[in-house]
Amino acid sequence: MTISCLFHNLVPVMKRMTIAQALTIRGTGLHRGGDEEIGLYPSENGIVFIKDGQPIPAIPENVVDTQLNTSIGLNGVKISTIEHLMSAFYGLGITDCTVEVKGDEIPVMDGSALPFVTHIQQAGLEDLGREVTPVVITGTVRAELGGSWVEVSPGSFSVSYEIEFAEQAIGLQRMSFDGDGYIREIAPARTFGLLKDVETMRSMGLALGGGLHNAVVVDGKDVLNPEGLRFADEFVRHKILDILGDLWILGAPVMGRVRAFKANHRLHIECAKKIHKLLGSLR
Ligand SMILES: [Zn+2]
């Protein structure tokens, strides 16, 4: 079974999936800059993060921070930067996994979701033999703020994203993704930042572990990374990576048309929360 076939028609069939065996992933935390280690374990209980013995289910109401990353927390315990790992889970169709986190955040790896995908593929996937009920969108859900927005409307699955930056290296970028080729087209796209924002972010205690090895850094018309870009439109591809990870907090594939304009984690998650609330009221 490939993920690509899952979203194409109105009756997607997808099985609950977990990982076949436990695995450990180590790396640097993007925002706090510390060494991070996470353990992934097979599970049948959805995606659940654990820190200091506190389980934190990956559900919309447990998202506690969306400033430049997506953090979840419960009972005073918080785990940051879950979005790229969540995106890898989306891409591999993993609905069930326990993620034990030793530090404060999920390691940033190379800034993309590809290292997570590769580690998980090496561990293997296991079909849990139960079907996932997709999140079928029956009405339009919208989140907006200051000209930025995310809208999810009825239809078969697709994500269309548009970003616009004054920096010429980014400019206006648009891309649509229909579920095909996540690992090739989306997973390798790295997170990015503007050089002018780096100092501000650091003064806020963010991006302390960030550098050219785990983010694309842009200064006006220039990309400062010596290796250049992985795709000419790597920036918008990364935004799609982010929104797929953020929407995976719903625990099942979204059957709907997702459109986003200059959005961010805050708006992605606000939309997920609205969808979740709507589903709750329908049950
Ligand atoms: Zn990201």
Whether 100 is covered by a domain: the verdict is yes
Whether 115 is covered by a domain: the verdict is yes
For residue 120, what are the domain limits?
Answer: 3-134
Asked if 197 and 222 count as a contact pair (C-beta separation under 8 A), the reply is no
Asked if 102 and 23 count as a contact pair (C-beta separation under 8 A), the reply is no
> What would the mean pLDDT of 51-76 be, rounded to a whole number?
96
Can you give the pLDDT at residue 213? 87
Whether 263 is covered by a domain: the verdict is no
Give percent above pLDDT 70 in the chain: 95
How far apart are the CA of 106 and the centre of ligand 1, in A? Answer: 12
Determine which one of 84, 119, 265, 276 is catalytic: 265
> What would the mean pLDDT of 168-195 be, rounded to a whole number?
96
50: CATH: 3.30.230.20
Higher per-residue pLDDT: 13 or 249:
249
Over residues 221-234, the pLDDT tens digits come to: 999 999 999 999 99
| Burial of 84 (C-beta count, 10 Å sphere; 0-12/13-18/19+) | buried
Its pTM stands at: 0.93
CA 171/CA 219 separation, integer angstroms: 12
Can you give the pLDDT at residue 200? 81
Over residues 111-162, the pLDDT tens digits come to: 999 999 999 999 999 999 999 999 999 999 999 999 999 999 999 999 999 9
Q: Which of 25-29, 81-85, 188-192 has the lowest mean pLDDT?
A: 25-29
119 is catalytic: no
Asked if 120 and 114 count as a contact pair (C-beta separation under 8 A), the reply is no
Structural domain total, the chain: 1
> In the chain, which ranges are E strands?
15-19, 23-28, 35-41, 47-51, 54-57, 63-65, 71-74, 77-79, 97-101, 125-131, 135-136, 141-145, 148-153, 158-164, 172-177, 192-194, 216-219, 222-223, 254-255, 257-261
Residue 283 has pLDDT above 80, yes or no: no
Asked if 221 and 169 count as a contact pair (C-beta separation under 8 A), the reply is yes
Whether 34 is covered by a domain: the verdict is yes
How far apart are the CA of 127 and the centre of ligand 1, in A? Answer: 28
Whether 156 is covered by a domain: the verdict is no
How far apart are the CA of 16 and the centre of ligand 1, in A? Answer: 25
Whether 175 is covered by a domain: the verdict is no
> What would the mean pLDDT of 72-88 be, rounded to a whole number?
97
Whether 129 is covered by a domain: the verdict is yes
How far apart are the CA of 212 and the centre of ligand 1, in A? Answer: 15
